[in-house]
Amino acid sequence: MLRAYIRQDDRLVASDVDVTDADASIESAVWYNLTDPTRAEDDYVEARLGIDIPTRAEMDDIEPSARLYTEDGAEFMTITALVNTDTDEPMKTPITFVLRNTQLVTVRYADPKPFKLFERLVTRPTNNSYTTGEKVMLGLIEAIIDRLAQLLETTGDEIDQISREVFGNKARKPTRKTRDLENLIERIGKKGDILTLARESLVSITRLSTFHQTTEADNAKVARDLRQELKVLQRDAAALSDHATFMSSKINFLLDATLGLINLEQNQIIKIFSVAAVVFLPPTLVASVYGMNFDLMPELHFSFGYPMALLLMVASAVLPYLFFKRKGWL
């Protein structure tokens, strides 16, 4: 789908473009928004701006030279954005910004929530600040950063909740407590994946802003307010990236702590079996001795031999138990 945003009075007006019957006014659009474009839509934009729209495979390339470059007087910048951030399984998707003079082209194959919010923002009648493609691009990046900040805040709250559950588990049965901790490990893993995706997106945004700032500085076209806005975006992305790194460290700590608690519970179970084996070993030895049927055994015909053997087995079990109890091993 191709949607063009044209400047009219004090706002941008959105118009869905039919490439087979396009209005001439579309050529002056400030922003061409390509969402899962067809070949005909790519060709239409390429013909209007004299650029080559990158393919999906080129957008997925992780090499900096393939994601950030200039060609035919246009800047091509690709970042990693997140979709499905309202669920426990967000996904990453590439978004390419093509900036040529005062016009912007965005190419994407998903529909991140910041784009929906920003599209509603720029079409408001009272919004007259997005006069060029560059300002639209910076506004989109700011919207993506704001969404990542919300995601990190929500993830941080959920990590705090997981931390309380890890260290406040009051389950008395070892098997139930271990099962609860194993479920927490799965939740910890999901939060770790979210933080990894968020950091990857923030790093790509930082690279884009640095590249754009450098390119514009070389061309001596950056106005003071735009330079300041770029610096603010860089600082925000860097601060959020540091925060994501901190939360990743906390995630690793919680994972280690959870595994440690599981090991403690399992060791406690093994300890019980070990003590039981040691306690019942002396009675077993006594029973084995008096279970032998030799004719010359002195106690074989002793009238009190059976109760004596039982008493001896009980005593041999109780004495090790009391010894372990006194030592604090139980």
Domain ranges of the chain: 2-265, 272-327
Give the fold, CATH level 3, of 272-327. Methane Monooxygenase Hydroxylase; Chain G, domain 1 (1.20.58)
Contacts 24+ apart (CB under 8 A), 165-172: 166/254, 166/257, 166/258, 166/261, 167/257, 169/261
Tens of each residue's pLDDT in the chain, 330 residues? 888 888 877 678 888 887 777 666 577 788 889 999 888 888 888 888 888 888 888 888 777 677 888 888 888 999 999 988 877 788 899 999 999 888 899 999 988 888 888 888 887 776 667 778 888 899 899 999 999 999 999 999 998 988 888 887 666 666 666 677 788 888 888 899 999 999 999 999 999 988 888 876 555 555 677 778 888 888 999 999 999 999 999 999 988 888 888 887 777 778 778 877 888 888 888 888 877 777 777 777 777 878 888 888 888 888 888 887 787 766
Measured CA to CA in angstroms, residue 286 lies from 166, 289, 316, 324 at distances of 46, 5, 8, 20
Residue 190 carries which side chain, given as an amino acid letter? K
- 257/255 Cα distance (integer angstroms): 5
Give the fold, CATH level 3, of 2-265. Beta Polymerase; domain 2 (3.30.460)
